[in-house]
């Protein structure tokens, strides 16, 4: 038997018979490794465990602990779903069934039949039957003509196959009486799927084109054990309770209207919260030596041509005509800030020059993509643009990262950093400039000991960036802050400064946003805190509840005025309702402090308070209560 050489990740090389499989290699090392293995890499290509290896190769086995193994599991579960649907609805046709961050889905054409929750339970039952049958998954190689014959009754697969080149090798996977086009890899048999759940059904246009037929998209998720599935389902339920659209309505924070899809309205409570966030932003930036500006919302088309937005971002911009000239509502704040920079002459002594703006921008998003505050058509970017010399890049970016770390810690948000590099298409500037900029961002992270991940090809069209991925109280990841290094726009706008030698030089420009947008960040905070904001942010900080209006309202009014004079946001509940009812309502509204005033409190100039979410009641002197509140607000506890 012909031998081949297999290179292992630790550098060892072993000889095996040609056509050995990854499963056999794992077994030769140890039966326990074979049991834990799911798939593997052969020369950087993902392989099934039972796919033959026919040449000298480098391999890496995947076990259940690897992220890619979770993807293999969910891909196999998608095929399991389709198999079950095909058994229950023989007339069903299938489009695609990929793995996504939330698990997997399959797009299905059932004619006039519409799935409901009971149907999903019926499909789950059939999936469990197929799991018990322990059916092997078989990889099949087909020519284009062979594939057309195998899928002759499926118009969606025929369409897909016809788009492939004549010479392309086509792979499919068969499990018993079900077969589908697929690159793989997959698990070896259906009984390896131990824990799954179908989550929901939604509509999806064929190929994402609204002119095509609407298919039914069934979503599901799978894990390697039932405990992990149970935890995930619990988190999904918790996320539903925290949905910022639901809480935004219940707490009177914001609204959306059919008269302006994607354009949020701030209600009184939401506006109060927003102003607190803005004030925190302003004070933080003043301490960091930023100069604050405001630029126009609409500017001439010529400006957007110079910036490159007109050619790279035109489809997302709103335009209008003024005095026979074409204008655009700004989708970004940077060109306006550049005009502010050009208004004055600058010296190297001015640098780094930090200019901040809470600027309202507009971007046209598809109606189907709009989602509460998370995806809107107008939002306020907490922008800043920093102009500097080349030799200041690393120190300034390092300083920024420390600022980001402080701000996110105030909200109890953990984070990690991604370095997004040059896009394959639609970028401005030379490759050399991009390489230099990417290295500078990487060096800045390294200087202060911050690890980062590479996100290939996801940079802005004008430069690479550091993206800050935030982790909330449920462990979900949100992309918010960004630091973008731009060596291109200063060139396009002919920016300059006078250096120490008296010569004109080109500055480097940083674009940066801490929150990303106030709207989206507030949506994240609503879900992060489940609507129970810390005292300094809460729209209503204190509810005052007299035990009996006849005897205690005068003292309640006195406390109310004192708290107002100390600049607290306070509500006096003087309704003729039962005490328990008013306390419960205060808790429902997630007010940080509910204070109850009766005979004892009136006599001793005291308050009895109850913090949101706590059952304990504490009685202290009014002056001590005010000190407690001030300390909590000052330290943003």
Which is catalytic among the residues 244, 385, 520, 540? 385
Q: Is 385 a catalytic residue?
A: yes
Report helix, strand or coil for 362. strand
Is position 383 annotated as part of the catalytic site? yes
How far, in Å, CA of 607 to CA of 556, rounded? 10
Helix (H, G, I), strand (E, B) or coil at 238: helix
Burial of 361 (0-12, 13-18, 19+ CB in 10 A): middle
- Which pair of structure tokens corresponds to residue 185? 């890899």
Cα–Cα distance for residue pair 102/78, rounded to 1 Å: 12
C-beta atoms surrounding 496 within 10 Å? 16
- Candidates 382, 307, 381, 309; CA nearest to 339 is 307
CB 581 within 8 A of CB 551: no
- Angle at CA of residue 565, ends 560 and 566, nearest 5°: 100
Catalytic residue among 511, 528, 590, 610: 511
381 has catalytic annotation:
yes
Residue 206's Cα: distance from chain center in Å? 26
What are 173's strand-pairing partners? Answer: 139, 180
User: Which long-range contacts does 177-184 make (Cβ < 8 Å, 24+ apart)?
Assistant: 177/83, 177/86, 177/87, 178/79, 178/82, 178/83, 178/86, 178/87, 179/140, 179/150, 180/79, 180/82, 180/94, 180/97, 181/147, 181/151, 181/157, 182/75, 182/79, 184/46, 184/48, 184/75, 184/139
Is the sign of the CA dihedral 619, 622, 625, 627 positive or negative? negative
User: Residue 35: how many CB atoms within 10 A of its CB?
Assistant: 11
364 carries an active-site annotation: no
Q: For strands 542-546 and 570-572, give the pairing.
A: parallel
Name the one residue in this structure whose structure tokens are 């935004």: 248
Q: Is 324 exposed, middle or buried (CB count within 10 Å of its CB: 0-12, 13-18, 19+)?
A: exposed
Give the distance from CA 338 to its chain's centroid. Answer: 29
27 a catalytic residue: no
Residue 185 CA, chain-centre distance (Å), reads 27
* Distance (Å) of CA 512 to CA 61, 103, 287, 397, 528: 41, 33, 17, 10, 23
Among the options 51, 274, 363, 377, which is catalytic?
A: 363
Tokens representing 190? 């259906």
What length does the chain have?
637
- On whether the CB atoms of residues 4 and 16 are closer than 8 A, the answer is yes
Q: Kindly name the residue from 79, 354, 465, 590 that is annotated as catalytic.
A: 465
CA distance 394 to 399: 9
For the packed helices 268-287 and 518-528, what is the interaxial angle rounded to 10 degrees? 110
- Residue 285 appears among annotated catalytic residues: no
Report the 10 Å Cβ neighbour count for 169. 10
List the catalytic residue out of 51, 285, 334, 552.
334
Torsion of CA 175, 178, 183, 185, to 10 degrees: -30
Q: Which of 188, 381, 484, 541 is catalytic?
A: 381
Do 395 and 417 contact (CB within 8 A), yes or no? Answer: no
Measured CA to CA, the distance from residue 591 to residue 159 in angstroms comes to 57
Task: Check 119, 180, 383, 472 and give the catalytic one.
Answer: 383
**Structure tokens belonging to residue 375:** 């995806």
* Cα gap 592→575, rounded to integer Å: 20
445 has catalytic annotation: no
Residue positions annotated with a catalytic role: 334, 363, 381, 383, 385, 465, 511
């Amino acid at each position: 038997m012909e031998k081949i050489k297999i290179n292992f990740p630790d550098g060892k090389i072993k000889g095996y018979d040609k056509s050995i499989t990854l499963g056999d290699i794992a077994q030769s090392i140890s039966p326990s490794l074979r049991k834990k293995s799911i798939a593997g890499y052969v020369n950087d290509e993902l392989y099934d465990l039972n796919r033959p290896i026919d040449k000298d190769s480098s391999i890496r086995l995947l076990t259940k602990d690897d992220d890619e193994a979770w993807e293999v599991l969910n891909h196999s579960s998608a095929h399991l779903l389709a198999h079950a649907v095909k058994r229950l609805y023989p007339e069903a046709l299938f489009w695609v069934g990929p793995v996504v961050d939330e698990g997997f889905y399959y797009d299905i054409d059932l004619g006039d039949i519409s799935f409901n929750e009971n149907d999903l339970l019926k499909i789950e039952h059939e999936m469990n039957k197929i799991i018990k049958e322990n059916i092997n998954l078989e990889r099949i190689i087909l020519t284009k003509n062979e594939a057309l014959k195998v899928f002759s009754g499926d118009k969606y697969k025929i369409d897909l196959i016809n788009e492939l080149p004549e010479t392309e090798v086509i792979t499919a996977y068969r499990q018993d009486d079900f077969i589908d086009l697929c690159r793989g890899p997959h698990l070896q048999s259906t009984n390896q799927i131990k824990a799954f759940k179908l989550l929901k059904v939604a509509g999806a246009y064929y190929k994402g084109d609204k002119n095509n037929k609407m298919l039914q998209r069934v979503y599901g998720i799978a894990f390697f054990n039932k405990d992990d599935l149970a935890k995930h389902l619990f988190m999904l339920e918790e996320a539903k309770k925290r949905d910022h659209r639901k809480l935004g309505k219940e707490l009177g924070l914001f609204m959306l209207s059919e008269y302006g899809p994607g354009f949020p309205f701030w209600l009184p409570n939401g506006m109060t919260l927003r102003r607190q966030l803005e004030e925190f932003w302003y004070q933080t930036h003043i301490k960091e030596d930023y100069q604050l500006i405001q630029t126009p919302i609409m500017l001439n088309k010529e400006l957007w041509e110079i910036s490159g937005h007109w050619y790279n971002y035109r489809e997302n911009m709103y335009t209008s005509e003024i005095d026979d000239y074409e204008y655009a509502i700004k989708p970004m704040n940077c060109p306006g800030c550049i005009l502010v920079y050009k208004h004055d002459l600058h010296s190297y002594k001015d640098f780094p020059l930090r200019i901040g703006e809470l600027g309202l921008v507009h971007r046209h998003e598809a109606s189907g993509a709009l989602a509460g505050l998370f995806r809107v058509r107008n939002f306020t970017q907490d922008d800043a643009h920093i102009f500097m010399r080349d030799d200041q890049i690393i120190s300034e970016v390092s300083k920024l990262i420390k600022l980001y770390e402080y701000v996110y810690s105030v909200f109890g948000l953990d984070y990690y950093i991604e370095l997004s590099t040059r896009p394959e298409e639609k970028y401005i500037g030379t490759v050399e400039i991009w390489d230099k900029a990417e290295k500078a961002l990487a060096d800045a992270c390294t200087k202060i000991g911050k690890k980062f991940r590479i996100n290939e090809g996801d940079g802005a069209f004008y430069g690479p960036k550091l993206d800050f991925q935030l982790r909330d109280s449920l462990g979900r990841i949100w992309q918010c802050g960004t630091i973008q290094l731009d060596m291109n726009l200063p060139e396009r706008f002919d920016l300059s400064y006078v250096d120490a030698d008296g010569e004109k030089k080109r500055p480097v420009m940083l674009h940066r946003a801490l929150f990303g947008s106030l709207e989206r960040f507030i949506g994240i905070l609503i879900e992060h805190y489940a609507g129970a904001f810390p005292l300094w942010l809460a729209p209503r900080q204190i509810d005052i509840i007299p035990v009996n209006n006849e005897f205690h309202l005068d003292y309640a009014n006195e406390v109310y005025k004192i708290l107002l004079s100390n600049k607290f946001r306070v509500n006096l509940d003087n309704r003729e309702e039962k005490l328990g009812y008013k306390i419960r309502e205060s808790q429902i509204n997630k007010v940080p402090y509910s204070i109850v005033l009766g005979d004892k409190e009136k006599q001793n100039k005291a308050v009895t308070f109850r913090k949101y979410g706590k059952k304990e009641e504490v009685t202290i002197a009014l002056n001590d209560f005010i000190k407690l509140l001030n300390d909590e607000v000052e330290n943003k506890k």
